[in-house]
Chains A and B, each alone.
Chain A
Amino acid sequence: MRSFKHSYLLFLSALSLLATSCSKDDDPIIDDNLGSGVFIVNQGAFSASNASLTFYNTTTKKVTLDVFSAVNGAGLGAVANDAAIYGSKMYITVNVSSTLEVINPLNGKLIKHIDMKNNGVARQPRYVAFYKNKAYITSYDNTVAVLDTASLNVEKFITVGRNPEQLAVANGKLYVANSGGLTFGNPDKSVSVIDLNTNTETKKITVPANPVSLAVDAGGDVYVISAGDYDKIPPALTIINSANDAIKSSETTDISYGNTVAIAGNKAYFISSSGNIVVYDTATDQVSNENFITGNFKIKTPYAIAVKESTGEVFVTDAKGYTADGKLYIFNRDGAVKDSAATGLIPGKIVFKNN
């Protein structure tokens, strides 16, 4: 628990950050624990290199708009895409800057800056997942990097399908959604299966075109959402049984492009193309609620979604049309809005910090 005095100081430093972050010499140092709350990774604009890491302390209700630049004296770069905490480290993929920033989640301090370039050419890292002290990072250059989480050295690049996006571990195997989404009109349509003992691709499972989102439920089923080709092929949800890699079902779905599927217990939450939060029952494989949010509350541009396992609270960011600062909304398990906080530009990923 935070003492009053500490949070007051934190508040002051957040204020001074707000007031001075446009001038170069003032870097308020947050060298203690940020407390309990959520990180929001803000993508920022492509041309402005203004990705940022917001921290919202859910106990004290204090927002630190950019922990990363406040602590490290430089910004994250251009288009931070994904982040996750594993052990005592937090890993942030910065797509256009083509870096992986490893920070201490307690205070945001940079531990290692890893340049994801191939002879100077940007690999463009996308998403990160973990298994037995290794971090696996997809990059648009058709690779999955294997990073040792102790030494923080990249040990291997596994070649997968085209423009791999989200990835997840099930049954000791890594599943990677190969989107091929950068080739408009001719996307990839496969999920790579990687043997985590040998770190080699063992097979490709064919799914509907342009698979982007991927998540695993408690029973080991892999949920893959394909975006389709925006023309003849509609978006689809495919469920793969990770025990035998067989496709259990594959049907068209109403989901907005590239959104994360957030799974907690036997509920999967995703954002529909019309902007509703849809609840899907992973036990019955049926939509159980077409619109999770109750009352007249409407989010302008729902963008990232995450569910807190312990409380069932659903966290959703609003990208506000991608042209202005975003917002984080917190809903209780019944869909009523209970809290909100300011974020940076295009809040694309929510990461829980529990200590």
Chain B
Amino acid sequence: MLNKNLFALNAIAFSILCVSPRVFGQSDSTRNLKEVNVQGITSDVFKTAAPVQSVTSSDFSRYSAFSVADAVRNFSGVAVRDYGGIGGLKTVSVRSMGAGYTSVLYDGILINDAQTGQVDLGRFNLLNLQQIILYTGQPLNLNLPARSYANSAVLSLITKQPQLSREKPNRFTAGIRAGSFGLINPYLQWQQRLSGNWSMVLNGSTLNANGNYRFKDSFGGKDTIGRRVNSDVSTQQIDGGVYYSRNDSTKFRLQFNYINSDRGLPGPVILNAVYDNQHLLNQDAFVQAAYDRIWQNSLHLLLTAKASHNYQHYTDASFLNNNGGANEHYTQREIYQSATLSYKPLQNWEIAYGTDASFVDMDVDVYKYVFPKRLSLYNILASNLKLGRFGIQTSLLSTYINDDNETNAAAKSKSAWSPTLVASYEAMKNGELLIRAFYKNVYRYPNLSEQYYYAVQPRDIKPEQSRQYNVGAVYTKNLDGFAEYVSAGVDGYYYNVTNKIFTFPGRSAEIISVRNIGKVDIRGLDVNIKTRFKPVADYTGLFNLSYTYQKAIDISNMGDSFYKEQIPYTPKHTLALNAGVKHQGIGLFYNHIFSSSRYYLSNNRPEYYLPAYHISDFSFTYDFRLFKKQFYSALEVNNAFNSDYVIVKGYPMPPRSIRLTLQLTI
């Protein structure tokens, strides 16, 4: 009965959570921000027409970040959904929209999980990343693949590019991270100049941990102390690329990435029982290429291509079927191609046209699977106009989705037009204040799980639609006093989601029903404040604060017992602050995250209450020279005050843990 679905749903959850294809990378997310000098002052609040937040590799240790998920948790508007531990799934939801509304780009190309629509950010380590940028709304550069415009937020991961010269033709970095949970994570990077225009990067790392930790949880009001088991992780990753660059006007890159990850799935903590037989193997590979050419007359061409193969094997020996347990294989393949052409007819006007095609096929050995193939076509027409102090970006995205499969259960093809309007105004002559606003229309298509997983009957599901409105301001002032500068951004927003897709377990796994029934109203406020203090005796102080207010209510049906109540897992208030001091090669940082209470079900009832939590991390970094070599070391203490908390009900988070890093660069 229900138990079956619950098990199956659990399996779905895991597969949803864990299959995550990779993509290739293209280049130029960094350049998008050239005007605001991303590389320069990383602690600034960007003066962009739509909100942009960023963190660079030198700051990862400030946030005691181990994975991409840790590095972005200080961004305003971001909620990290973390199932706990090193191997636990970690996804981000921007402005309460859910993980499916954030596209993750790897060097400019989407990491597409057609099956689940969400990407596990816990599986991206930070070692080969140079920068992480979050665009709310959409990136403002026009030289982008069309698919980059299709979502509500874009998380752009930018890898380390070779930084070499004739005098310094190669660079080696070797390091090891080790600490609590039996973590051992050695890594290596090799950068090599191949000729005047060509260079290459190769990264390799392994990660092993037992992942176990003690936790405190409560059941029906009774505290229980337990231990997370079956959390072991073993991951091997190798990635790299060759890069060509001529005069910055012609660039080419060819990259590959392979991850093999084998881990136990601890599952939820169950009162009176332990299920410790679930296991997941992922083998994900991709190659991607990008060609970027700018002509003298401002014509700019970007071509990208990618092929990916993602394999997942899920087993659960304690599932009481006739085959010795659950044993499911998922294979997802994607071929993707994109071309974007932009041109400046006038000095202050740029137009672009881009077209993308993606072809995905799935092979899953669950009961009555239909083996879908999905073709997605995206076309974008965009314009960037500057008129004095006004900036106006308009874009119109066309999306076409067509499915095909081996039975007659293929969904009807769907298409939609999504307009976006972004406007900004320099309110002060000295450029200190920017007023900004955007309107964006986003469709989210049912992913392959929603459309086909155990879909014995064809499902007629419409895309989710959201209308998004944002109004904000950015103020930056250079100061002569105690602080060097202060920079603040405030954005208020209203998002309205209709035709929200819900998956209902039903009485049986085989008859899950998926329907468009929900409506959600989201009102929120994102605040960012950043400042740097004047150095005193070579001590430099840094301070960032971000605050998020969210009122996200369910307005599906007036008769529902949860009508107008806050949607699950959505805190009203989140606060992240980071403060630190740098002195010569030494850095000492404190990071604090506060989340107000939440409910884990639609009913905002005491039984479904998750208490507020505070998490404090400390990190200490030290750069030094030894034997004429450059070393970097770090000590991080996570959850320093040992708070017992959960983000996802049933998945307790780790207690205090430490991590040591030692790295040598030659």
Contacts and interface: CB of A to CB of B under 8 A. Distances in A.
B601 interface: yes
Nearest to A19: B606
A21 interface: yes
B368 A325 contact: no
B14 to A, nearest CB: 11
B385 interface: no
Contacts of A325: 561-562, 601, 603, 605
A246 interface: no
Q: Interface size for chain B: under 10, 10 to 19, 20 to 34, or 35 or more residues?
A: 35 or more
A77 B605 contact: no
A221 interface: no
B320 A24 contact: no
Contacts of A256: 507
Given A79-B3, A231-B368, A323-B502, A122 B275 contact: yes
B1 interface: yes
Contacts of B6: 45-46, 79, 96
Contact of B273 (A117, A140, A344): A117
Contact of A48 (B4, B267, B268, B502): B268
Contact of B219 (A75, A79, A141): A75
Contact of B504 (A73, A165, A322): A322
Given A96-B273, A184-B510, A324-B560, A49 B3 contact: no
Contact of A230 (B268, B270, B272, B456): B456
B272 A99 contact: yes
Interface stretch (B168-176, B182-190, B220-228, B528-536): B220-228
A150 interface: no
A49 B221 CA distance: 12
Contacts of B650: 47-49
A18 interface: yes
Contact of B271 (A22, A78, A165, A322): A78
B194 interface: no
Contacts of B601: 45, 323-325, 345
A95 B267 CA distance: 16
Contact of B1 (A73, A122, A185, A257): A257
A180 B510 contact: no
Contacts, number: 196
A22 B322 contact: no
A74 B224 CA distance: 10
A71 B609 CA distance: 20
B559 to A, nearest CB: 9
Interface string B503-524: 0111111110000010000000
B321 interface: yes
Contacts of A77: 219, 270-273
Contacts of A79: 2-3, 6
Centre residue among A77, A142, A259 by max chain B CB count within 10 A = A77
A347 to B, nearest CB: 11
A23 B218 CA distance: 10
Q: Is the interface of B mostly helix, strand, loop or mixed?
A: loop
A242 interface: no
B10 to A, nearest CB: 6
Interface residues of A, number: 77
A65 interface: yes
Given A96-B270, A227-B508, A348 B2 contact: yes
Contact of B561 (A23, A78, A121, A324): A324
B105 interface: no
Contacts of A323: 502, 504, 601-602
B319 interface: yes
Given A22-B609, A325-B603, A124 B320 contact: yes
A163 B220 CA distance: 29
Contacts of B368: 184-185, 230-231
A271 to B, nearest CB: 10
A135 B3 CA distance: 22
A183 B322 contact: yes
A97 interface: yes
A342 B323 CA distance: 41
B510 A230 contact: yes
Contact of A182 (B222, B319, B456): B319
Interface string A23-66: 11011000000000000000101111110100000000000011
A93 to B, nearest CB: 11
A184 B320 contact: no
A259 B507 contact: yes
B246 to A, nearest CB: 54
A258 B274 CA distance: 26
B560 A346 contact: no
Centre residue among B271, B560, B650 by max chain A CB count within 10 A = B271
Interface string B49-90: 000000000000000000000000000000000000000000
B607 interface: yes
Contacts of B367: 184-185, 230
A258 B509 CA distance: 12
Contacts of B221: 21-24, 26-27, 69, 73-75
Listed from nearest, the 6 A-B pairs whose CB atoms lie closest are A75-B220, A69-B220, A184-B367, A47-B268, A46-B6, A257-B507
Interface of A: 18-24, 26-27, 43, 45-50, 52, 65-66, 68-69, 72-79, 81, 94-99, 113, 115, 117, 120-122, 124, 126, 140-142, 162-163, 165, 180-186, 212, 227, 230-231, 256-259, 320-325, 327, 342, 344-346, 348
Given A75-B219, A181-B4, A258-B1, 9 more contacts: A48-B600, A74-B221, A75-B220, A76-B271, A124-B320, A184-B367, A321-B517, A323-B601, A325-B601
30 contacts: A18-B605, A22-B221, A24-B222, A49-B219, A49-B271, A52-B220, A73-B220, A75-B271, A76-B271, A77-B270, A79-B2, A81-B2, A96-B3, A97-B272, A122-B275, A124-B320, A140-B320, A142-B320, A162-B322, A181-B4, A182-B320, A183-B323, A185-B367, A212-B1, A258-B1, A321-B502, A321-B504, A322-B2, A323-B601, A327-B561
Interface of B: 1-4, 6-7, 9-10, 218-223, 267-275, 318-323, 366-368, 456, 502, 504-511, 517, 560-562, 600-603, 605-609, 611, 648-651
